[in-house]
Amino acid sequence: MIAGSEIGGESDRSLWHLLLKLKKAVQRYYFDHNATTPVSREVLEAMLPVMTEVFGNPSSIHHYGQAARAKLDDARRHVAKMLNCSDGEIVFTSGGTESDNLAILGIGGHVITTTIEHPAVLASAGQLSVTEVPVGGSGIVDPAAIRAAIRSDTKLISVMHVNNELGTIQPVEEIGRIAREAGVAFHSDGIQAAGKVPIDVRAINADIYAISGHKIYAPKGTGALFIRKGLNLRPQMHGGSHESRQRAGTQNVAGAVALGAAAQWINQHASAEWPGLAQLRDRLEQGILKRVGDTHVNAVGSARTPNVTNIRFDGIDSEALLIALDLRGFAVSAGSACSSGKQDPSPVLLAIGLTREQAKSSIRFSLGRSNDLAQVEALIDAVAESVAHLRKLAPAYA
């Protein structure tokens, strides 16, 4: 973006200021919940008193320390219930990236993963011996391909529960069985699954399972890792004996309480929320496909979370469409927020067989609690008008 002082003429500066005013005046709607979520009222109410009143170190034995420990234990119970595991199997971390790093590097050895994993998984596995199993146009990995990749030195299989860009739900139950039969540890990145699908780490035979707070209406900088009882990971942070000796460092009690409150809300309310989100997602897809020609839903027909759709617009550059929608007040995404700012197309979309041009013409819409039907209808209008305008400016499309 060019700053106003760097634009040449007076008329250019006036236009710049006019655009800024228009952006400030427009009504804004958020459709990028897979990138991050706002902190919910329930989470904030649970977290704030801990930041000011329960300030003790949970490792201290005096009153203040034990008050903090009680809050930490309570939060651990809520997270454990969300994942269907015991309290002692939850390790609090600083977020999804740390959780995935600890899971993968903590096991070591030969790792089997897929080509559509989050960078936190791929970058960690890339420091070890790794086999990346390809994924077809469905956006779902074939468990038979995972089985075929197992070697005598394989120590870990890491397959995400839900893909962050497509919303596709991976066959983790079957993959977990394959891992258990082979005597190999199974890790699943559940960061986009939490709050969107039921999670039962026992049912999927997970040995390690990662979640992140800021994807489920808790603050950034807090997360958790389920580590099956009896499995000891090699710590990646060294110091004290915190978190069952798996993760050194004084715990972020307020962050853990926030994550626990978010998990408690999911335990009580999320399943009732999912059908409504699915209806909104379906209406968004149907409206866009009806109003805008030459559009395609990526990974259509595959099992997906109820809140995500990834749509390809022929002849459109996704960055131009993102800007056009932002000017109209709608926040959407072209892919993983961890890859934003890159000019390259999404590796996930390339991995499912899209060309570079197709990948760079795709937009992810991810819905959340703040969205309603009126917002969805307004978004459909904005997409239709923006695409029509952009296509007029692209002679190659015509």
Burial grade of 61 (CB within 10 A; 0-12, 13-18, 19 or more)? exposed
Of 266, 298, 331, the position where a domain reaches its end is: 266
**Do both 229 and 293 map to the same domain?**
no
pLDDT at residue 1, rounded to an integer: 30
In a domain? residue 314? yes
**Do both 323 and 382 map to the same domain?**
yes
**Do both 244 and 294 map to the same domain?**
no
Residues of the chain short of pLDDT 50, as ranges, are 1-7, 340
In a domain? residue 397? no
Domain range for 117 is 41-266
**Do both 47 and 143 map to the same domain?**
yes
Query: Comparing C-alpha atoms, which of 152, 101, 106 is closest to residue 131?
Result: 152
**Do both 22 and 144 map to the same domain?**
no
In a domain? residue 3? no
CATH number at residue 190: 3.40.640.10
**Do both 226 and 334 map to the same domain?**
no
Please give the tally of structural domains in the chain: 2
Task: Determine the Cα–Cα distance for residues 294 and 302; give it in Å rounded to an integer.
Answer: 20
> Residue 92, SS3?
strand
Residues marked active site are found at: 338
In a domain? residue 233? yes
CA separation (Å) from 159 to 122, 176, 260, 336? 10, 9, 25, 17
Task: Determine the Cα–Cα distance for residues 204 and 344; give it in Å rounded to an integer.
Answer: 34
In a domain? residue 58? yes
pLDDT at residue 202, rounded to an integer: 98
Of 243, 266, 289, the position where a domain reaches its end is: 266
**Do both 261 and 353 map to the same domain?**
no
Query: Comparing C-alpha atoms, which of 391, 99, 57, 347 is closest to residue 246?
Result: 99
In a domain? residue 365? yes
CATH number at residue 350: 3.90.1150.10
Residues 6 or more apart whose CB falls under 8 angstroms from that of 229 comprise 86, 88, 89
Burial grade of 232 (CB within 10 A; 0-12, 13-18, 19 or more)? exposed
Of 266, 290, 315, the position where a domain reaches its end is: 266
In a domain? residue 21? yes
pLDDT at residue 23, rounded to an integer: 60
In a domain? residue 1? no
**Do both 238 and 202 map to the same domain?**
yes
**Other CB atoms within 10 Å distance of the CB of residue 357:** 12
pLDDT at residue 11, rounded to an integer: 56
**Do both 72 and 51 map to the same domain?**
yes
**Do both 56 and 187 map to the same domain?**
yes
Q: Which residue has the tokens 């067989």?
A: 353
**Do both 245 and 148 map to the same domain?**
yes
**Do both 207 and 331 map to the same domain?**
no
